[in-house]
Amino acid sequence: MSTSQSQTTQLPNGLTCEIPASSPLAKLLKSQRTWVGPDAKARLAILRDAKSIAIVGASPNPARSSYFVATYLLQSSDYRVYFVNPMVDEILGQKSYKSLADLPEVPDIVDVFRKASDIPSVIDEVLAVGAKTVWVQLGIWNQDAAIYGESQGLTVVMDRCLKVEHARFHGGLHLLGFDTGVITARKTVR
Q: Which 8-state DSSP code applies to residue 70?
A: H
This prediction has a pTM of 0.75
The pLDDT value recorded for residue 170 is 74
Give CA–CA dist 63/45, Å, rounded. Answer: 30
Q: Which residue positions in the chain have pLDDT lower than 50?
A: 1-3, 174-180, 183, 190
What separation in angstroms does the CA of 140 have from each of 35, 136, 168?
Answer: 14, 6, 20
Domain at 36-176: CATH architecture: 3-Layer(aba) Sandwich (3.40)
Determine the number of helices (DSSP H) and then strands (DSSP E) in the chain: 6, 9
The per-residue pLDDT for 169 is: 80
How far are the Cα atoms of 53, 115, 166 from residue 77, in angstroms, in the given order?
Answer: 11, 26, 9
What was the pLDDT predicted at 1?
42
Q: Side chain identity at 44, as an amino acid letter?
A: L
Q: Where are the domains of the chain?
A: 1-32, 36-176
**DSSP secondary structure code for residue 188 in this structure:** P
